Amino acid sequence: MDGNEWMKAAAEKDLKEGVPLPVTVDGKKVMLLLLNAEIHACGNECSHYGAPLTDGVLKGREITCPWHNARFDATSGRMIAAPALNDLPHYESRIEDGIVYIRPGGPHLIQMPEGKDDRSFVIIGAGASGNAAAEGLRRAGFAGGISVITAEQDRPYDRTMLSKDFLSGEAPAKWLPLRSEKFYSRLKIDFLTQHRVESLDTPSRKITFQGGESISADRILIATGGIPRRLNIKGSELRGVHTLRSLTDCNRILSEIDQAEQVVVLGAGFIGLEVAQAFRQRKLSVHVVAPENIPLGRVFGEEIGRRIQQVHKEKGVKLHMGRTAQEARGDDRVREVILDDGTRIAADLLIIGIGITPAVDFLAGSGLVENSAVPVDTRFQTKADGVFASGDIAVVPDRFTGGVRRVEHWVEAERQGQHAAKAMLGSTEPYSEIPFFWTRQFGTSIKYIGHVRKPDRIVFRGSAEDERFLAGYYENGTLRAASCIGMAKELIMIGEKMKRGEHVNPEQLSDIGFDLFE
Ligand SMILES: Cc1cc2nc3c(=O)[nH]c(=O)nc-3n(C[C@H](O)[C@H](O)[C@H](O)COP(=O)(O)OP(=O)(O)OC[C@H]3O[C@@H](n4cnc5c(N)ncnc54)[C@H](O)[C@@H]3O)c2cc1C
Ligand code: FES
């Protein structure tokens, strides 16, 4: 369907007002939508990882993807919220003699804005947030200079794959880049790779690099993400001991994997457990050591945490919960890990996955950092004029609790970057997204929406045991967050309701008969 030819898509009678219809036309997956008696047609594959959008939730014109909650305008195909970066293909449509016909409706890729703008914007950080902001500036029509700085050697790539399919060997390296070189050159987005920023002078907006060079900018976005925590134990400097944040880190681990049979992972958080799973897929023997009693219990609650623990056990991961590592021993490289109870575990690789600290060292003295992170207002503006911050380093006002939050999620970092881009161009619209993240544990995707530090009540619809549930996290009687396996549409609706300020009480949430889709 590349030409201008009208193609038969469906019978008119199969369309129902407000119900997206999946069809295949000339091999292309298309979503037809009858809305207010008008017909619309867009691609039906999410531009993130390709989920069928008709399995998602439509509210008004907006459709939310069932896999990782990207949002699109289902009438125009326009991307509204990450993790999708591209719009959907859009088709023209018409009805004749009871048959719906469609044909391609023009380009759907971001275009380089026309016109001239002498301003120059610099983004420090080429990760989730920095990339989304750079693209967001062009989407918003900014025609001036955009430079993106990164200490890494790579341009933006899908960091979330590093602990999953890339480490397990299922995803080839060519799947990692978020964009091609051609894309960035077409949009005139310049990169300064392997450039580490050493300081920022906020009044003059002058950025100084390691080595002394410097540049200034009219607007700056800081999106420097996190630095993995190192463990301060004897032997942690041995070869074979790694953290995992960047593609370079991941490639270092992979370069040693052929000689490895046994791996010890310190930390049973998302990264630790995903790494354990990837190594099991490679048939390595894997031990996970962590001080808490139940993996991810603090995030998802004990019931779900126990289920995750069970799945890992069944897949052959040896979990040492309630334990800490005291020492790594070896000669030229790590050979064994000694736990606090004296247990000795042979190890060819030791992966430390015990969290991150925000990468803000270079901001010392800038006045922008409080409690090791960067507070911003609802438009990601820091205390310094023309300097913005987003992603893992940013402490943002949370309109749902009236407090603040700092989260370390891919989707949130991208959405913040997209919003910050508009703010850099003068938009005063406040940020109003609800955080969302997902993790994959041995083929099962667990999704989470909202934010709560310590829920005082967790209520289930379905059960963790059956691996099909929606869990609601309450704080003082208010629903603050929800997680799910399988019930992706219900999770999206919980997010919708939280946004609208609608209360879902624990009895309603647990009652399978209570319709969340109203
Ligand atoms: C292995 C792994 C798997 C993950 N999986 C998931 C997942 O499944 N779901 C999820 O929601 N989240 C996941 N995350 C978390 C997610 O990747 C982060 O929340 C997200 O990348 C944060 O985006 P960011 O733009 O703030 O920072 P980053 O993406 O970390 O980007 C930071 C950028 O800043 C640059 N930088 C830092 N300091 C300097 C400096 N001084 N000078 C110049 N450049 C600098 C870095 O080089 C990098 O380009 C995962 C993280 C990792 C490491
Ligand atoms: S596949 Fe749609 S958001 Fe990931």
Q: What is the pLDDT of residues 342-382, one digit of tens each?
A: 999 999 999 999 999 999 999 999 999 999 999 999 999 99
Distance separating alpha carbons of residues 381 and 375, to the nearest angstrom: 9
Distance separating alpha carbons of residues 378 and 398, to the nearest angstrom: 8
Which tens digit of pLDDT belongs to each residue from 206-226? 999 999 999 999 999 999 999
Mean pLDDT lowest among 132-146, 211-225, 459-473: 459-473
Using pLDDT thresholds of 50, 70 and 90, give the confidence band for residue 332: confident
The residues with which 447 forms a beta bridge, in sequence order, are 438, 484
How many angstroms does the Cα of residue 45 sit away from the middle of ligand 2?
A: 9
Strand 241-243 and strand 349-352: the pairing is: parallel
Q: What is the pLDDT of residue 2?
A: 61
349 lines ligand 1 (CB under 6 A): no
Report which of 85, 148, 154 is spatially closest to residue 121, judged by C-alpha positions.
Answer: 148
Q: Which atom of ligand 2 has the smallest separation from the CA of 65?
A: 2
| Contact predicate 20/29, CB 8 Å | no
Distance separating alpha carbons of residues 397 and 403, to the nearest angstrom: 6
Looking at the CA of 178, which ligand is closest?
Answer: 1
pLDDT of 15 above 80: yes
Which of 191, 196, 395, 409 should be mutated for ligand 1, with most atoms under 8 A from CB?
409
83 lines ligand 1 (CB under 6 A): no
**Omega cis (within 30) before 83:** yes
Q: What is the pLDDT of residue 518?
A: 78
The stretches of 94-232 forming alpha helices (DSSP H) are 128-139, 165-168, 181-186
| Contact predicate 93/107, CB 8 Å | no
Containing H/E element for 241? strand 241-243
Report which of 390, 369, 85 is spatially closest to residue 219, judged by C-alpha positions.
Answer: 390
Report, as an integer, the average pLDDT of 318-345.
97
Which tens digit of pLDDT belongs to each residue from 19-69? 999 999 999 999 999 999 999 999 999 999 999 999 999 999 999 999 999
How many angstroms does the Cα of residue 504 sit away from the middle of ligand 1?
A: 33
Closest residue by Cα to atom 1, ligand 2, is 49
63 lines ligand 2 (CB under 6 A): no
pLDDT of 1 above 70: no
How many angstroms does the Cα of residue 103 sit away from the middle of ligand 1?
A: 40
Q: Ramachandran region of residue 418, left (φ > 0), alpha (ψ -120 to 50) or beta?
A: alpha
| Contact predicate 334/239, CB 8 Å | yes
Distance separating alpha carbons of residues 137 and 411, to the nearest angstrom: 18
Which of 224, 244, 447 should be mutated for ligand 1, with most atoms under 8 A from CB?
224
Q: What is the pLDDT of residue 465?
A: 84
Looking at the CA of 65, which ligand is closest?
Answer: 2
End-to-end CA distance of the chain: 37
Mean pLDDT for the chain? 96
Q: What is the pLDDT of residue 105?
A: 85
Which tens digit of pLDDT belongs to each residue from 222-237? 999 999 999 889 999 9
